[in-house]
Structure 1
Amino acid sequence: MVEGKIEHVFDMPHPSPTAPTAADLDRALEHLATLDGAGGGEADQIALIASLERLKGAIAAAQARVTDALARARTRHEAERGIPAAKRGQGLAAEIALARRSSPHRGSRDLGMARALVREMPRTLDLLARGQISEWRATVVVRETAVLTPEHRGQVDTEIADRLASLGDREAAAKARAIGYRLDPGSAIRRNRGARADRHVSLRPAPDTMSYLTAFLPVEQGVACLAALRQAADTARVQGQPRSRGQVMADTLVERLTGQTHAADVDVEVHVVMTDSTLLTDDPTPAHVVGHGPLHAALARQVVRDAPRAYLRRLFTRPGAGDLVATDSRRRTFTGELRELLVVRDQVCRTPWCDAPVRHADHVTPAADGGPTSLANGQGLCESCNYAKQAPGWQSHHLPGDRHQVLVTTPTGHTHVSTAPDPPGWWLPPHESDVGDIEHCYRSPRDCLPHVNPMLA
C-alpha cells in the first residue's frame, strides 16, 4: 500500500531507546518532499491524504510537547541564575515564532497552547498525537477554556475527549464552552469582561487601493453603530442621493469619525513611495504605500493627482542595491525625517515573519553600547519584538553589504537574518552617470544626486 510509505518514514522502535533527533526528522522530510501519490490509484491517494492529515496532528502534538519542555527548561535555568519570576521566559515566544517562521503573536499563542495541552488537557493532546483531531480543533478547545482554572479545564478535557474526534470545529467550541459554563458559571462573566477589555480598531489592506477598517466592539455598541449608519443612508436615499446605500454608509462613517463635511476632504499624511519615472511618466513600476502595501502605478499617480496637497521628498538608493542612503544623526532617538525614512525603508516590523506595523524605531546596536542614531544602525520593530529583543541572551548586529541586513541571535544560539524589503524600482538599471563615490553620498546626501537613483516619497 502507498499508505505504508508514510508510516515507514516515521517508523520508530517503540519504546525507542533514544528519541528522534532533528536530523532524523530532516531525513524524513526529504522522503516526504518526493511524495506526490502519482503512482497509485484514487483509493491509494485518498488513503495518503488521510495519513498525511493524521501525521500533521501527530507533528503538532510533538511540537507542543517539545515547546512545553523548552519552557520548563528555560524557566528552571533562569531561576537558577536568579532572574526574577516576573521576567522568566521573556522573549521565549519570539524565539518559538522564529523557529516556526511565524509572527510573535502566533508564537505567543503556540506557547500558551502547548502549556495548556501538556499540563492541563492530556486527553486532547493524546487525540492530537494519534491524528484523530486537527491542530485547529485542539486550538479551539484550548481557546474556549482559557478563562477556567486548571482543575476545571482538566474536567472539560475529560468530558469532551470521547466525542471530540467526531465533532466539527464549531460544535467542539460550543461543547467546550457549555461544559465550562456549567462547571464555573462565573466564567461567562469573565469572558465577557475580558472581551470588552480587548475592544480595538484595526486596519488591513484590501485590493485596489482599498482597506478594511475593523472595530471590535461590545455587541450593543456595534449594533448601534450599524443602525446609525443605515439610518443615515436611508435618509440620504429618500432625499434623492444617487450614491448607493453602502457608499453612503461608508462616507458617513468617514465623515463622523474625522469631523469632515465630506469624506473626500479627509486631510491626513500618507507616504506613497515610488520612482521618479513612475510619478512623471507611464512607467508601470508599482509604488508602495507605507502601512498598506504595493500600489498599481496608475493608481499611485491618481492618488497624487487627486490629493488636495502633495509634498515631494527625494529618497536616494545605492545603484543596483536598493539600499536607502541617509546621513547619521547625533540624536539619542529616531525622530523627524530620519524616523520617517526608517519606516519608509522597513515598511513593516523587521523581525522575520512578523508583518506587524512599525511602532518602535530601534537601535540595532544599543545606544548604551555606543550605537549611533543612524539609518544604518536603525530598524523598525513592533512593540512586541522590541521588548523581546531586550530579553537576556538576544543579540543583534548590523551586517555590512549593499542591502541593510541585521543578524539576530537568539538565546539558544540560533541565527536569523533580517533584510530590508525592496523599495519600488530599485532593480531598475542605473544610468551610466549613476556611478561615483558612494561613501561620499553617506557623508553628504545633498551632493550625491549624480551618483544615485532618485526615489520620491
Structure 2
Amino acid sequence: MFESLFDVDPGASQAELRDVIERCERLKSAAAAAQARAAAQWATARRDAEATAGIPASRRGRGLAAEIALARRDSTTNGDRHLGMGKALVHEMPYTLAALEAGVLSEWRATIIVAESACLTVQDRGRLDREMCSEPARLDGLGNKRIRAEAKKIAYRLDPHAVVERARKVPRDSTVSTRPAPDNMVYVTALMPLTQGIACYASLKREADTHPDGRPRGQVMTDTMYARITGRSAAEAVPMTVNVVLSDEALIGTGDAAAAVQDHDPIPAEVARRLIADAVDAQGLVELRRLYAAPTTGALVAMESRTRAFPAGLAQFIRLRDQICRTPFCDTPIRHIDHAEPHRRGGRTDACNGRGSCERCNYTKEAPGWRVRTYFDPRGRHVAEHITPTGAVYRSTAPPIAGGLRVLSRDVHLVTVHRAA
C-alpha cells in the first residue's frame, strides 16, 4: 500500500495510519541503538588510533563526545551523555540495548535506565539490566516515571550505600538557569535537592490558595517568588542594566524591525522603545553608542586590537554579535571570547578571528585534530567553520542584528539601559 516506508497513502485507513506511526517509532528506537553501537565502536577506534600515535592515555578520546553531538546535530553539552550511553549499553547493558533495538524502549527510556544505574558497579549494573529488560513484556505499558521508579528501586536493593552516596553528592550540582520563552517571557529553572524544591513549590502554592485577589493563580505564585527572592514587589520598577541593539528606524519609531537583547530572544521594536522610555521616566541612565551594520544583512562591522586578550569593548562587541556559543547546535550562553585561530599560531585579536563560545566548546577546540576557521562571507555575515578530526565541517553564521530584518540604513545603535527603581 505504501510506495516507500515513509510515504503515506492519501487513502489510508485510520488503522493503517496508526501502523505507520508505530512502525516509525520502532525505527527511531532501532536507529538510536545503531547510534549507540557506532558511538561505542568509535570510542574504541579513536583511543586505539591515539595510542598508536603516542598520545598520553590521559588525553585520549578528548573531543570525541563533541564530535558525536555534532554528528547528531545536537548541542555539544549533550555529547557526554550520548557517548556514555553508547558505551554503557554496548559493554555493560545488553538487555537494555536489545529492548531499544526492538522498539520496546524509546531512546529516552533507555537513557533513564542507564542514568539510574550509573552509581552501581559493573556487576550490579549488569544485574539491574537483566532484571529490568531481559523479559521485554515487563516493560510493556511503562511510562517514563515508572521506568525511573523501577530502576531506582532495583539500584537501591543492589547497592543502597552507592545510591545514598550519590544522593549525598547531588546537591553540589544545584544550579539556577534561565531560557527565553515566547511573548517576552523567560523561564527561570532551579535544580535543587528534592526536599527544598518541594518546600518552595508548596509555599508558593499555599500563598496562591490562601490569598486569592483576582489574579490568575500562576501569576500569584510567580509574583510571590519574585518578591521573596528580590525583596521587591512585582509592581515596582526593576533596577537593571540591559544591552539592546536596534536600528535607527526602530529607535525613533519609524521602523518595526525587531531589537536584539543580549542573552535573550529578539523583542518587538515597540517593546524596546518602551523599555528605553521607562528608563528615562524612572530617571535611569541611558547610554547610546553608534554601531554599523551591513545594510542588507544587519551584520555588525569588524573591530581590531593589537593585544592578545580581547579588550572589554571588542569582547562586548563579539558577545552582541554572536549572542550564544558559536559551535553549531550549541545553545549555551557565551562564557569565553576565544581566538578561532589560536594567538600562539598567529591568530589575530579582532572581530573576525574572535568568536563567543561556552567553556566546553572552547576547550574541545584544543583537542587533537580540531580546527576552527572564521571569515566574513560575501554578504558580510560572520561565519565560523568547525572542522573535526574526521574531516567533517560544520558551519554557523552569526545571527543578524534587528531580528533578521533588513536594516534600511547603516545606523545601528547599542542602547545600554541602566534603570533605577
Residues 298 and 407, structure 2, Cα contact 8 Å, conserved in 1: no
Q: Report matched runs for 1:321-400 at 5 Å.
A: 321-400=297-376
How high is the TM-score relative to the length of structure 1?
0.82
Q: Which protein, 1 or 2, shows the higher relative CO under an 8 Å CA cutoff with sep ≥ 6?
A: 2
Q: Deviations over 1:334-385 (max 9, x none)?
A: 2312111111100111111111111110111111111111111111001111
Q: Report matched runs for 1:265-280 at 5 Å.
A: 265-280=237-252
Q: Which AA in structure 1 matches 2:286?
A: A
Q: Give unpaired runs (5+ residues) of structure 1.
A: 7-31, 432-451
Q: Deviations over 1:83-117 (max 9, x none)?
A: 22222211111111111111012222111111111
Residues 352 and 376, structure 2, Cα contact 8 Å, conserved in 1: no
Residues 297 and 406, structure 2, Cα contact 8 Å, conserved in 1: no
Q: Deviations over 1:208-229 (max 9, x none)?
A: 3221222212233335545666
Q: Which AA in structure 2 matches 1:416?
A: Y
Q: For 2:180, what is the secondary structure of its paired residue?
A: strand
Q: For 1:355, what is the secondary structure of its paired residue?
A: coil
- 1:107 and 1:96 map into 2 onto residues whose CA distance is 6
Q: Please identify, of 160-169 and 174-183, the stretch whose mean Cα deviation from structure 2 is larger.
A: 160-169
Relative to structure 1, the CA distance from residue 247 to residue 287 in structure 2 (aligned partners, 3 Å threshold; closer, same or farther) is same
- 2:221 and 2:17 map into 1 onto residues whose CA distance is 50
Q: For 1:416, what is the secondary structure of its paired residue?
A: strand
Relative to structure 1, the CA distance from residue 55 to residue 197 in structure 2 (aligned partners, 3 Å threshold; closer, same or farther) is same
Q: Report matched runs for 1:19-418 at 5 Å.
A: 32=6, 35-161=7-133, 162=135, 163-226=138-201, 250-251=222-223, 253-254=225-226, 257-258=229-230, 264-307=236-279, 308-401=284-377, 402-418=380-396
Relative to structure 1, the CA distance from residue 51 to residue 230 in structure 2 (aligned partners, 3 Å threshold; closer, same or farther) is closer
Q: Give unpaired runs (5+ residues) of structure 2.
A: 416-421
Match of residue 13 from structure 1 = none
Residues 334 and 373, structure 1, Cα contact 8 Å, conserved in 2: yes
Relative to structure 1, the CA distance from residue 124 to residue 318 in structure 2 (aligned partners, 3 Å threshold; closer, same or farther) is same
Q: Which AA in structure 1 matches 2:273?
A: R
Q: For 2:242, what is the secondary structure of its paired residue?
A: coil
The answer to whether residue 406 in structure 2 is matched with residue 428 in structure 1 is: yes
How high is the TM-score relative to the length of structure 2?
0.88
Relative to structure 1, the CA distance from residue 381 to residue 453 in structure 2 (aligned partners, 3 Å threshold; closer, same or farther) is same
Q: Please identify, of 75-84 and 244-253, the stretch whose mean Cα deviation from structure 2 is larger.
A: 244-253
Relative to structure 1, the CA distance from residue 146 to residue 205 in structure 2 (aligned partners, 3 Å threshold; closer, same or farther) is same
Relative to structure 1, the CA distance from residue 260 to residue 165 in structure 2 (aligned partners, 3 Å threshold; closer, same or farther) is closer
Deviation at 1:293, TM superposition (A): 0.6
Q: Which AA in structure 1 matches 2:359?
A: E
Count of residue correspondences: 406
Q: Which AA in structure 2 matches 1:81?
A: A
Residues 64 and 114, structure 1, Cα contact 8 Å, conserved in 2: yes
Q: Deviations over 1:139-167 (max 9, x none)?
A: 12112212111111111111111112442
Q: For 2:386, what is the secondary structure of its paired residue?
A: strand
Structure with greater strand share of residues: 2
Q: Which has the larger radius of gyration?
A: 1
**Over the residues paired in the alignment, what is the CA RMSD in angstroms?**
2.6
